[in-house]
Structure 1
Amino acid sequence: MPNKYKMIDLFAGCGGLEDGFLQSGKFEDVAAVEWLKPQVNTLIHRLETKWKVKDAAERVMHFDIQREDELFEGWQDDEFGQSKGLDYFVNKANGIDIIIGGPPCQAYSVAGRVRDENGMRDDYRNYLFEHYLNVVNRYRPKLFVFENVPGILSAAPDGTPITDLIRKGFEEIGYEIIEDLRVAKVNASDYSVPQNRERMIIVGVDTQRYSNIQEYLNEFYSEILPKYKGKKVLTVRDAIGDLPECTAFWDEEHHSKKKSHETPESEYTWHKPRYHNVRDMDTFRLLARDIESGKREYDSKKISELYEEKVGSKSPIHRYHVLEPDLPSTTIIAHLYKDGNRFIHYDSKQSRSITVREAARLQSFDDDFDFVGSQGNAYQMIGNAVPPKLAKAVSLAVADLLERMEVQ
């Protein structure tokens, strides 16, 4: 094995996928690309403080991947500052071994298609994978890891299944992915992440370098990756049960007088509750007590009725959900930055939604992973991230795969 495999991270977000790859000790960062500034700042901070990357502010590129010529050759403009471009960093590293990342998933998600009147046909995010493909073609890594939502198995924005477009696109530039993509679906809860989170982990291999690729990929999904599953399934209580109790910011009348109960100073960053109104706090308490008591009277129909009673309007989906303490969490989503009503803490005494740190733990971020930006920024980047523990398992499996293929 070489010292470390050299990688580029595309659509890097705050760095959940990259952090897992770095945790494995088998990969080193060459460059990363992300277009949202709080995420860029967070990844730079993480690389500098945890991984001691001295030039992280240069390697993490704040840029729009759709502007390909500038992405490769460098740019200087008002919005994105300046950079030498990806070519510079790849040449400096004498080439790369692997590209990781996945385009934003809203356009592939079933929920996104339901909400959009055109079924996301016009959404530019459907086509960002073409830019991913062009970066892969330019730098010819040994393999790539393309992470996305299971919705891509059914997405067909222009009538053609996205999976066909992805497969054809990579075949045209000489990369092969597994024939039956359904085997590429994994659940993060199997990999020491205290959360039910299904994701596609699509590995593509360079056909110019390797042969018998389907055999290797079948082995990857059936034997190599499962080897890194966790010993037990972790629950919400396992993940957040030891964090200090805290109660929400609240007011009595229409935001006029925000108050907060005294929350003890915590050694944990971002463990601070968000603002709630009294009505919501009463609802949270009622629903958490329903679970604590074992009565479990509030099914989705009754929760919808409760919402209508409390808010005065109907909702097609039930808008409240208490996290079950003795099960993995439901999927942490970026919508958390708007409200946490579907992520209510199981302790009725606290009557609140989860804090940023609790959301981060449910995504398997280490406690020393700090987020740079507002509370809303932090919730959003956590919800969009790849859980680092899942990423670490994938990185270890990918390193094994590379070693096996190298000796063929």
Structure 2
Amino acid sequence: MSKTIKIVDLFAGPGGLAEGFSSITKNNKRRYSIGLSIEKDESAHKTLLLRSFCRQFARNSLPKQYYDAISLNSIDEREVKIEELFRTYPKQYKVASEEALKFELGKDSEEILDSKIKSIVENDDEWVLIGGPPCQAYSMAGRSRVGGISSEDHRVYLYKEYLKVIAKHSPSVFVMENVKGLLSAKVEGASVFDMILEDLSAPYKIIKGTGVNNYRIYSLVKENVKEPKDYTINSEDYGVPQKRHRVILLGVREDIKVKPTVLKKHSPSINIEDVISDLPKIRSGLNRSFYRYEINQKGKSVRKYKKVKDSEVNWRTLMNSNLNELVKLNGFNGDDNFELNNSNYGTGGEYLEYLNQERKEIAHQSWYIDKQLKGVLNHKSRSHLTEDLKRYMFSTMFTDRYKKFPRMRDFKEYGNKLLPDHSSAESGNFADRFRVQKKGVPATTITSHISKDGHYFIHYDKTQVRSLTVREAARIQTFPDNYLFRGSRTMQYHQVGNAVPPYLAYQIGKIVLKILDV
């Protein structure tokens, strides 16, 4: 009989790694048991708690009350129903509340954490540590904003909280994820990546008074590592519909003599429309419109906006006006025109029924689709400035014609009125400020920046004129459709952008099983 392997998940976010590992089953029994998931963010923790609750039921056997709770459009009403759900199943909720821990590593009590981990592993010699220490300090974008990495930035050393757990509790295997920028990050001239590799190989040397276990560090994509980039996983090569490139380290305790295999590439790659084209079409919302400049008390010219009523009629009127204007620009012609009059899409919702729409097959059909779920979760569009919606429409038309999204120079070439009214618009620093997710290829990386404005994540369908919804981003990240993201919509986007793709984690989990199933 196959043993169930326990997992501790640090810096868990909304639970992408845990979802992948826990989805591996044999004879309908999960091969991994998530003993502890730790996350400091309140919204992500609520998402973790609900998903842990779901794992207490047999796979594909969630109670009807779960679907009743999540199939509501009001976030507040939904939260009330979820609390009722927890009270209806107190046993399952108790296990989930003990697993999903709201805790800040490096700040909250180490004694509490150590005690919890000890109670979970119970001297079990075979268990797995997973997680990804916060990566903002290592990201290229973060470093460019602050001019490099400061030795005073505590985030640089948060991996040592991960290291402490390895040193004190000696997992059989660990899986640690971080951004590609980690490979080139330096602090006071020293390579952060080299420092991390050395520390992870012999954690007891750093954390004094702990065990004596060394670890061998492996790449999941290269059998013979020759340079740091060999630890980078290009997710689009492994069935994930996005160009997400991340460093993932696999550590194996030195007493375990099994050499791990590497991930098998998927061919062909899965494109963005392969996983989101079946979702109900929705339009962008209307927010505000610029109407004049005013001089403020400091003598500076500032833009003033007025509220625009969001309605189907107003949206179609505005979009048709934009379309008529855009097709007359140099570079477009009548062939670029398209029909908007019969859209009647609506702006979606926290829950949106499919109604009579015919469900089409998508890639990874069995991975995403829950037949008990009669609609779509977290599928509501943003409201945008009317000026930005014109830029979105231009961007999708340009991408459709030239098979590449426009740069700022293209906006200027087609007419200065399209350029954003920012001092940096022509600086070259934000040349790809409006990025369309192109059909026929995997999406660009879904990052936490998607929570800001959506300009980098414009839907390829020029009739919808909007940025991606949370659910579309979640599909691109390979979260199953019944995975509910809790909190405000901004926080939902943030959770999705920070997560590890569960389908990638699923494949990694299978490699780990081969190490431990001996």
Shorter-chain TM-score above 0.5: yes
Q: Deviations over 1:246-292 (max 9, x none)?
A: 11110453352341433464310111101111111111011101122
Q: Per the alignment, in what secondary structure is the counterpart of residue 242 of structure 2?
A: coil
Pairing 1:139-158 to 2, within 5 Å after superposition:
139-158=169-188
Counterparts of 1:273 and 1:388, CA distance in 2: 24
46-55 vs 293-302, which deviates more?
A: 293-302
Maintained 8 Å contact 2:391/2:418: no
CA shift for structure 1 position 242: 1.0
Identity of aligned residues (%): 33
Counterparts of 2:412 and 2:284, CA distance in 1: 23
CA shift for structure 1 position 350: 0.8
Counterparts of 1:332 and 1:286, CA distance in 2: 22
Q: TM-score, normalised by structure 2?
A: 0.69
Structure 1 equivalent of residue 400 of structure 2? 292
Structure 1 equivalent of residue 503 of structure 2? 389
Counterparts of 1:188 and 1:110, CA distance in 2: 19
Q: In the comparison of the two structures, how many residue pairs are matched?
A: 383
Please report the RMSD computed on the Cα atoms of aligned residues, expressed in angstroms: 2.4
Structure whose alpha-carbon radius of gyration is higher: 2
Counterparts of 1:45 and 1:278, CA distance in 2: 37
Maintained 8 Å contact 1:96/1:139: no
Structure 1 equivalent of residue 308 of structure 2? 257
CA shift for structure 1 position 185: 1.1
Question: Quick one: which amino acid aligns to residue 64 of structure 1?
Answer: E
What residue ranges of structure 1 are gaps of 5+ in the alignment? Answer: 76-83
Q: Does 1:367 align with 2:481?
A: yes
Pairing 1:226-305 to 2, within 5 Å after superposition:
226-227=263-264, 229-251=265-287, 253=289, 254=305, 256-261=307-312, 262-263=346-347, 265-266=352-353, 267-294=375-402, 298-299=406-407, 301-303=409-411
Structure 1 equivalent of residue 337 of structure 2? none
Question: Quick one: which amino acid aligns to residue 200 of structure 1?
Answer: V
Counterparts of 2:10 and 2:107, CA distance in 1: 14
CA shift for structure 1 position 348: 1.1
Q: TM-score, normalised by structure 1?
A: 0.87
Q: Per the alignment, in what secondary structure is the counterpart of residue 28 of structure 1?
A: strand
Q: Per the alignment, in what secondary structure is the counterpart of residue 201 of structure 1?
A: strand
Q: Which of 100, 121, 130 is residue 100 of structure 1 equivalent to?
A: 130
Counterparts of 2:51 and 2:390, CA distance in 1: 38
Q: Deviations over 1:207-257 (max 9, x none)?
A: 2x234x7xx2xxx3xxx2333x33431111111111111111104533523
Q: Does 1:45 align with 2:158?
A: no
CA shift for structure 1 position 71: 3.6
Question: Quick one: which amino acid aligns to residue 379 of structure 1?
Answer: Y
Counterparts of 1:330 and 1:272, CA distance in 2: 21
Maintained 8 Å contact 2:6/2:121: no
Counterparts of 2:112 and 2:455, CA distance in 1: 45
Pairing 1:9-408 to 2, within 5 Å after superposition:
9-25=9-25, 26-52=31-57, 54=93, 55-67=95-107, 70-73=109-112, 85-91=116-122, 94=124, 97-172=127-202, 173=204, 174-178=214-218, 180=226, 181-207=228-254, 209-211=255-257, 216=259, 220=260, 224-227=261-264, 229-251=265-287, 253=289, 254=305, 256-261=307-312, 262-263=346-347, 265-266=352-353, 267-294=375-402, 298-299=406-407, 301-303=409-411, 309-315=419-425, 316-318=429-431, 319-403=433-517, 406=518
Residues 260 and 234 of structure 1: is their aligned pair in 2 closer, same or farther, counting only changes over 3 Å?
farther
Structure 2 equivalent of residue 78 of structure 1? none
CA shift for structure 1 position 119: 2.6
Counterparts of 1:349 and 1:170, CA distance in 2: 50
Maintained 8 Å contact 1:195/1:331: yes
Maintained 8 Å contact 2:232/2:246: yes
Q: Deviations over 1:157-206 (max 9, x none)?
A: 23221122112212333222136443221111122111000111101111
